[in-house]
Amino acid sequence: MGVDTASTFCYLLSLEEHRDAETWGIRLLELVDRGFAPRAIVADGGSGLRAGQKLALSDVPCRGDHFHLIRDFEAAVGSLERHAYQAIDACEQRQREQTRQGRRGQPLHSPALRLRYARAACDPAIQLFDDVSLLLDWLRHDILAVAGPSYAQRCVLYDFVVAELQSRAELCPTQLRPIHRLLKNGREEFLAFAKELDVNLDRLASEFQCSAELLRGVLQLLSRDECDSRRYKLETVLRQQLRGRFFEVCEAVDQLRGRTIRASSLVENLNSRLRGYFFLRRHLGADYLALLQFFLNHRRFLRSECPERVGRSPAEVLTGIPHPHWLTLLGFTRFQRA
């Protein structure tokens, strides 16, 4: 399955027996023969997809998908949080047991020993959760965010997070080792968007005759919530520096922010939409998938957060050419009331 990020046009949807490199490579080569020429591809960690893309589109960069990375990291943090709460509950249980035996006049040696062991396990569990949760916040909100530092600074911060995670991986190897390995091996792919962002900011800086750091401040401004008091303090400073070009620069930076793709969330969104059709029709064939792909690509959006998509189909957004109703395209005559 493949989706164009700007238009949500599904360019690949087929039923295959295998998801190996040869299958992906053949399907991508078929698309290339039909004019498929992506600037970059964002893919998850599927080995077949990445190997097939390297075979068919060796000159097209394949970036790392932030969606699955953050999801897996959040799952690991959630597991550490549950473990910490279990350790807290164990301490409270041992404390109640000790209090109860003290009231009965029974010996307190065994309950006190169990309480000491529970406290010894509780504090490290809480500390591990706090540390890893903080690393996740840094990674998500500072390093992998569109509004962030330069590529060089992101690399330094990224390496710091990887090193800190490695020092704690042995404390919970089942949860933290896979995340550490994924981060360690995928730095270039996960930060590829930041390298392109720096190039685009330099281009805009040359166009508006200002510094790239000033435009990075505008990017930070646009990323803040309107209810955030820091937004207006930053806006005041930027208005003084940009003066009459403020709105023009904000519009250009906002368009750049919208074109910066970091995740394959559109594919996951399409997957969720397809599940309803798969549930209604358990037996799926190639013809059914082809019809479903045609319907999704030519059905016009009734509403969208992107104004340019409202009342237009993904095919119209992609090509810029209007087309009749999808039933008319299939050769049917639409029913119309007299």
Sketch the domain layout of the chain as residue ranges. 2-64+264-329, 66-190, 209-259
Give me Rg for the CA atoms of the chain: 26
Tell me which residue of 184, 180, 191, 178 sits closest to 64, measured CA to CA: 191
Give the predicted TM-score (pTM) of the model: 0.80
- Coil, strand or helix at 68: helix
Instruction: Give the CA dihedral 97, 101, 107, 112, nearest 10 degrees.
Output: 20
Q: Where are the beta strands (DSSP E) in 20-117?
A: 41-43, 62-64
Question: Parallel, antiparallel, or unpaired: how do β-strands 62-64 and 41-43 relate?
Answer: parallel
Name the DSSP class of 210: S
CA distances from residue 250 to 143, 212, 242 in whole angstroms, order as listed: 22, 13, 10
Query: For the domain bounded by 2-64+264-329, which CATH number is listed?
Result: 3.30.420
Residue 12 CB partners (closer than 8 Å, separation 6+): 1, 2, 27, 28, 31
Instruction: Kindly report the length of the chain.
Output: 338
Along the 338 residues of the chain, how does pLDDT read in single tens digits?
Answer: 788 888 888 888 887 787 888 888 888 888 888 888 888 888 877 788 888 888 888 888 888 888 888 999 999 999 999 999 988 888 888 777 777 766 565 555 566 677 777 777 888 889 999 999 999 999 999 899 988 899 999 999 999 999 999 999 998 899 899 999 999 988 888 998 899 999 999 999 998 888 889 999 989 888 888 888 888 888 888 888 888 888 999 999 988 888 888 888 888 888 888 877 776 666 666 778 888 888 888 988 888 888 888 889 988 888 888 888 888 888 888 777 77
**Which phi and psi angles does 311 have, rounded to 5°?**
75, 10
